[in-house]
Amino acid sequence: MTANPQKTRETDPLKSIVAHAKEYGFIFPSSEVYDGLQAVYDYGQNGVELKNNIKRLWWKTMVQMNENVVGLDSAIFMHPTIWKASGHVDSFNDPMIDNKDSKKRYRADELIEARAEEMRESGDENGADELLSKANGLLDREDLDGLRDLIVEQEIKCPTSGTANWTDVRQFNLMFSTHMGSVSDDSDKVYLRPETAQGIFVNYLNVQKSGRKKIPFGIAQIGKAFRNEIVARQFIFRMREFEQMEMQFFVRPGTEMGWYEEWMQKRMGWHKALGISEDSLRFHKHEKLAHYANAASDIEFKFPFGFKEVEGIHSRTDFDLKNHQEFSRKKISYHDPETNQSYTPYVVETSAGLDRLFLMMLCSSFVQEEVKDGDNVKERLYLKFPAFLAPNKAAVFPLVKKDGLPELARKLFDELKMEHQAIYEEQAAIGKRYTRQDLIGTPYCITVDHESLENQTVTIRERDSTNQERIAIDKVLAYISEKVSDQQVLAKV
Ligand code: GAP
């Protein structure tokens, strides 16, 4: 039987995934009892396990498997001058425009991109290219009046009010700020970090010196980042509070392009090793570079709403370290024992969005297929997570709640839970219990039945094939441990 997720995807694939994520304890809208908080989400009992498993695998691949990469956990609050030095105070902006009738706010560049997409769909490729190149020119020159004129000239209307009654275009800084201590004036202003990378840059010397690290070496960290996104939609794809997994790799100036290529390939290999199909992944090279980069590419995944960025690989030059040196007036340089020269290291960054990887796993694992049930055909829905990422590795069921089966099943569960996230369940018919585990992506269900009492064996049902085999109870832990191990993935990356 081949997987046929088309049915759900054709209707409204993202809606089905969002509904499933809520119903089965993966993701809840934040503050739901108070009608929610836009673009903020909570991870439920299964979501947090999946998220932790993605984090753990990233950490193992980046830190444990790379002798020259070490970890860090820096604070969210940092000295406000850091954000001046990094360019975020002055340049971390999106151009926004409001519709006066609907009071809705849009990103001016996204309105124009959507118009170009419409032109392309109606076969006007040249018109679309011309429009985008005009818009890019205006964005590069920060010509906000020109952007507004282009929106008006193109007769772009607000999707809500249907009118073209637009305000001027203004730059909108995406950083959240608050005040530290009890006095609320500008001298106490602090920002919630919009990227974790700056915590790495300002600790570069601490790590290099305390760890006696030699270039090239990297510093990795996982942590929350905050952006006051103007347009926050597509579920957890664009959030205002999200988590990044970033690594800054410090290299000798002039060698950065080689390292940039190497990290691009390594990171793409990692996504493929998670079992994501090749045709759902691609690189997107940036033509318009961020203020700090001399080369940049995204790894994009084919979401139900199109190919979108899940991770960026950026060659950030010495922009950040040089600026921190200038603003802090503290020397940040490296004496290279090989060349006997001192320099400010260049940086190649890999920056993945944890929540986007989570959504990628959810989308690529969401399978709906038709299966034969006697003469009927019925639909089967399950989450085909790779076993090493699945929130729960195994579920243990006594076939019935009597005859000593629960006692034996519990004994097995108690053994399994020492090593793995596992579930014990004795309610409902066995078929229903299997279905419930399919819906949360548990790869193995173990049933203790009457034969178990006679010969100390149990059945193990595999989620994707639904095949069952019988094995000795005392072999179950080793069996599960082997099946859910991440060793094969780690060997590939
Ligand atoms: N330090 C570089 C940096 O922050 P970025 O491309 O702005 O680069 C890196 O962000 C990654 O963070 C993106 O590839 C994406 O996966 C994730 N990300 C960025 N903004 C996000 C948002 N609003 N919600 C969820 N993830 C986001």
For the chain, give every residue range classified as CATH 3.30.930.10: 44-79+175-362
Confidence of residue 6 (pLDDT cuts 50, 70, 90): very low
- Phi, psi values for residue 406, rounded to 5°: -60, -40
Closest ligand 1 atom to residue 309 Cα is: 14
Question: What is the whole-number distance in angstroms between the Cα of residue 390 and the centre of ligand 1?
Answer: 24
Task: Report whether 336 contacts 252 (CB < 8 A).
Answer: yes
Q: How far is the CA of 359 from the centre of ligand 1 (A)?
A: 14
Nearest CA to ligand 1 atom 16: 353
Tell me how far the alpha carbon of residue 244 lies from the centroid of ligand 1, in angstroms.
7
**What kind and span of H or E run contains 24?**
none
Q: Is the CB of 315 under 6 A from ligand 1?
A: no
Residue type, 116: A
17 Cβ closer than 6 Å to some ligand 1 atom:
no
Ligand 1 center to 322 CA (angstroms): 23
Q: Closest residue (by CA) to atom 22 of ligand 1?
A: 238
Lowest mean pLDDT among 3-17, 295-309, 398-412, 438-452: 3-17
Checking if the pLDDT of 142 tops 90, the result is no
Specify burial of residue 396 (Cβ count, 10 A radius: 0-12, 13-18, 19+).
buried
Q: Which fold has domain 93-173?
A: Herpes Virus-1 (3.30.40)
What's the pLDDT at 9? Answer: 41
Report how far residue 188's alpha carbon sits from residue 112's, in angstroms, rounded to the nearest whole number: 38
CATH 3.40.50.800 range(s) for the chain read 385-492
| Ligand 1 pocket test target in 242, 243, 267, 298 with most atoms within 8 Å of CB | 242
Distance 242 CA to ligand 1 centre (A): 8
What is the reported pLDDT for 372? 86
Confidence (pLDDT) at 454: 97
Q: Is the minimum distance from the CB of 311 to ligand 1 under 6 angstroms?
A: yes
- The two tokens of residue 56 are 């753990």
- Ligand 1, atom 26, residue with closest C-alpha: 353
How would residue 1 be classed by pLDDT, with cut points 50, 70 and 90?
Answer: very low
Statement: residue 211 has pLDDT above 90: yes
Mean predicted confidence (pLDDT) in 220-224: 98
246 lines ligand 1 (CB under 6 A): yes
Calculate mean pLDDT across residues 231-259.
94
Nearest CA to ligand 1 atom 17: 353
224 CA distance to ligand 1 centroid (A)? Answer: 11
What is the 312 CA–ligand 1 centroid distance (Å)? 8
Interval 154-172 mean pLDDT: 94
Determine whether the shortest distance from the Cβ of 356 to ligand 1 is under 6 A.
yes
Q: Is 197 in the pocket of ligand 1 (CB under 6 A)?
A: yes
C-alpha of residue 195 to centroid of ligand 1, in Å:
8
> Residue 141: its pLDDT value, please?
86
Q: Tell the residue nearest (CA) to atom 21 of ligand 1.
A: 238
pTM for the full predicted model? 0.92
pLDDT of residue 185: 66
Enumerate residues 6+ apart whose C-beta is below 8 A from 488: none
* Count of alpha carbons within 13 angstroms of residue 479, beta-carbon side: 20
Q: Is the CB of 312 under 6 A from ligand 1?
A: yes
Instruction: Locate the ligand 1 atom nearest the alpha carbon of residue 314 and give its number.
Output: 2
- The reply to whether CATH 3.40.50.800 applies to domain 385-492 is yes
Among 175-179, 205-209, 286-290, 449-453, the minimum mean pLDDT is found in 286-290
- List Cα–Cα distances, 257 to 202, 244, 253, 254, 287, in angstroms: 23, 23, 9, 7, 16
Every domain of the chain with CATH number 3.30.40.230 lies at: 93-173
Per-residue pLDDT for 231 more than 80?
A: no
Side-chain-side CA neighbours of residue 196 (13 Å): 26
What's the pLDDT score for residue 186?
Answer: 66
pLDDT band at 22 (very low <50, low <70, confident <90, very high): very high
Choose which CATH entry (2.120.10.30, 3.30.70.100, 3.40.630.30, 3.30.930.10) describes domain 44-79+175-362.
Answer: 3.30.930.10
**pLDDT for the residue numbered 184:** 62
Say if ligand 1 is within 6 A of residue 320 CB.
Answer: no
Task: Kindly give the distance from the C-alpha atom of residue 264 to the centroid of ligand 1, in angstroms, as a whole number.
Answer: 16
351 lines ligand 1 (CB under 6 A): yes
Q: What is the pLDDT of residue 225?
A: 98
Between 12 and 309, the more confident residue is 309
Give the chain's mean pLDDT. 94
Does 3 score more than 60 pLDDT? no
Please name the residues in contact with 491: beta carbons below 8 A apart, sequence gap of 6 or more: none
Q: What is the rounded average pLDDT of the residues 71-100?
A: 95
Q: Is the pLDDT of residue 11 over 90?
A: no
Q: Whose CA is nearest to atom 10 of ligand 1?
A: 351
Mutate which of 172, 191, 219, 309 to test ligand 1's pocket (most atoms within 8 Å of Cβ)? 309
pLDDT exceeds cutoff 70 at 2: no
User: What is the reported pLDDT for 406?
Assistant: 98
Give the Cα separation of 259 and 252 in Å (integer). Answer: 10
In a 3-state reduction of DSSP, which class is residue 82? helix
